[in-house]
Amino acid sequence: MRRTLLEGLLHRPLSEPPPAVDAAELEAVARAVGVAARARLGRSLSIREIDAGSCNGCELEIIALGNAFYDLERFGLRFVASPRHADVLLVTGPVTRNMRAALLRTWEATPDPKWVVAVGACAHDGGEFAGSYACERSVGAVLPVDLFIPGCPPAPVDLLKGLLGLLTLSAPR
């Protein structure tokens, strides 16, 4: 224990510099989020993650955002346990019909202003599960989506780019 803690003090942190968010991505986020967000949120966002029927691949990469390399919380982004505390709903999966009601109720439980970020190919257009009797077409078919982060699953660095874009634009200038 002592050795592990001592090393933690003496070594440089593993956390890596944030990825650059390019202008085109920022513009896309700006269009999606609109001006209203900028004044209200300051430089922090509380995120409630909802698995709406993903294969859990997206969850693995979202969890990885918390490891020392990405260290999400240093940017003012944090995951919260309740939709009541959330600004952003981060939704994965093709929205299975069995999860539709729970997703809607979670959205309704989230106070305004709120944003929906759809994560992964399934959330965008059903991905490999498009056309199934058991799935809605996408997150967009159930909720108004403000931002889409592509990938199957998106790597943590892609998730970080999308969320940082949201943060940059929602901060007062």
Q: How far is the CB of 173 from another protein (least distance, A)?
A: 31
In the set 87, 94, 115, 147, which binds another protein (CB under 8 A)?
A: 94
Q: How far is the CB of 139 from another protein (least distance, A)?
A: 14
CA-to-CA distance for 126 and 148, rounded, in angstroms?
13
Among positions 49-68, residues that touch another protein (CB under 8 A) are 49-64, 66-68
Selected binder of another protein within 101, 111, 113, 144 (CB under 8 A): 101
Closer residue to another protein, CB minimum distance, 5 or 35: 5
DSSP annotation string for 28-51: HHHHHH-SHHHHHHTT-EEEEEEE
- Interaction between residue 119 and another protein (CB under 8 A): no
As a whole number of angstroms, the distance between CA 52 and CA 107 comes to 12
CA distances from 14 to 8, 59, 100 (A): 10, 22, 39
98 near another protein (CB under 8 A):
yes
